[in-house]
Amino acid sequence: MELRHLRYFIAVAEELHFSKAAERLHIAQPPLSQQIQQLEAQLGVELFHRKTKRQVQLTEAGQVFLQEAYQLLAQLQKAIELTQKIGRGEKGQLRIGFTSLVTYNLLPVILRQFREQFPEVELILQELTTTEQERSLQESRIHVGFAHPPLEDNTLNQKCIQQEALIVALAETHPLAEQEKISVRSLVNQNLIVFPRHLGSGLYDQIVSLCQQGNFSPKVTQEAIQMQTIIGLVSAEMGIAIVPSSLQNLQRTGVVYRSFEEKTPLVETAIVWREEDITPVLKEFLQVVMSLCDK
């Protein structure tokens, strides 16, 4: 049995007339009659009572088969549409890794835009450090990540989508909070709260580089994985933090942000993926990210 048998049968069942069904299908009437006879032979039942040579009526078996044929063709059409959507990247699943830093300005804009364009794609988000994202990409547990170079795995594709300066987060009671801008040298002997280097060397090394600009080594007294935890510790007056400028969007009672007088190293955010794991959905996601970040 082939699909054309179902379509021919449905046309005859709806018209109840071979000539009218043949005209509707744009074929001759004799081949249509032969196809219906073949179908009946394959099923081993009569689908039509022949009232005249051309006019017919559905048998009880034909009535049941008509409803099933409708469902089969509807299911086929649904399968075709679903396959086409997946092939075009309009439907499917995308697993995204991200650091806490990108949630303060970059990621919300990207996700909102992508969801507007591709509402049927399921987004699964997982907060991971840069190092964890590299491992997850290697093990195909995520499709794409938002991380901070440098990366250890040079086989990964990466594209820089943002660069931002470093600023200082201080308790509002801190003496330096009275200044509009702060010199790097003024941070000598200040207790510093930082992100652990082993979970992503980029930010840590840039903080060290900035302190070396001021001819001193940072006095690290606390480490925390989450940016909001770092700011929480600043609020508790456990120390100060040198953070990317986008963190100003994280408002916390008792915490103020100040720029540096000097030019600082730039914190880079990159979108990272594996070329061999690219899917139609990921391809569309990358295009959305590039179009937003190239503006």
| Residues 97 and 76 both lie in one domain | no
Q: Do you know the residue count of the chain?
A: 295
| Cβ atoms of 177 and 256 closer than 8 Å | yes
Question: CA-CA distance, 208 to 185, in Å (whole number)?
Answer: 13
DSSP category for residue 149: S
pLDDT value at residue 134: 95
| Residues 81 and 32 both lie in one domain | yes
| Residues 154 and 275 both lie in one domain | yes
| Mean local confidence (pLDDT), 272-278 | 93
CATH number at residue 113: 3.40.190.10
With 0-12 CB in 10 A as exposed, 13-18 as middle and 19+ as buried, what is 188? middle
Question: CA-CA distance, 114 to 154, in Å (whole number)?
Answer: 28
Which of 63, 87, 111 is the endpoint of a domain? 87
Work out the mean pLDDT of the chain and round it to a whole number. 91
The residue among 55 and 112 whose pLDDT is bigger is 112
| Residues 151 and 194 both lie in one domain | no
CATH number at residue 12: 1.10.10.10
Sorting pLDDT into bands at 50, 70 and 90, what band is 293?
A: confident
Residue 87 pLDDT > 80? no
The residue among 176 and 53 whose pLDDT is bigger is 176
Tokens at 126, concatenated: 């997982």
Sorting pLDDT into bands at 50, 70 and 90, what band is 295?
A: low
| Mean local confidence (pLDDT), 236-259 | 94
What confidence tens digit (pLDDT) does each residue in 194-217 have? 988 887 788 899 999 999 999 999
pLDDT value at residue 57: 92
Single-letter amino acid, residue 282? L
| Residues 132 and 275 both lie in one domain | yes
pLDDT value at residue 223: 94
Residue at token pair 């002997």: 189
As a whole number of angstroms, the longest Cα–Cα distance in the chain is 104
Structural domain harbouring 17: 3-87
Count how many domains the chain has. Answer: 3
| Residues 242 and 174 both lie in one domain | yes
| Residues 18 and 66 both lie in one domain | yes
What confidence tens digit (pLDDT) does each residue in 142-198 have? 999 999 998 989 999 999 999 999 999 999 999 999 999 999 999 999 999 998 888
| Mean local confidence (pLDDT), 243-260 | 94
| Residues 256 and 131 both lie in one domain | no
| Residues 201 and 184 both lie in one domain | yes
What confidence tens digit (pLDDT) does each residue in 98-152 have? 998 899 888 999 999 999 999 989 999 999 999 999 999 999 999 999 999 989 8
| Residues 133 and 210 both lie in one domain | no
Other Cβ atoms closer than 10 A to 267: 22
| Cβ atoms of 95 and 274 closer than 8 Å | no
Percent with pLDDT over 70 in the chain? 99
| Residues 274 and 226 both lie in one domain | no
| Residues 275 and 133 both lie in one domain | yes
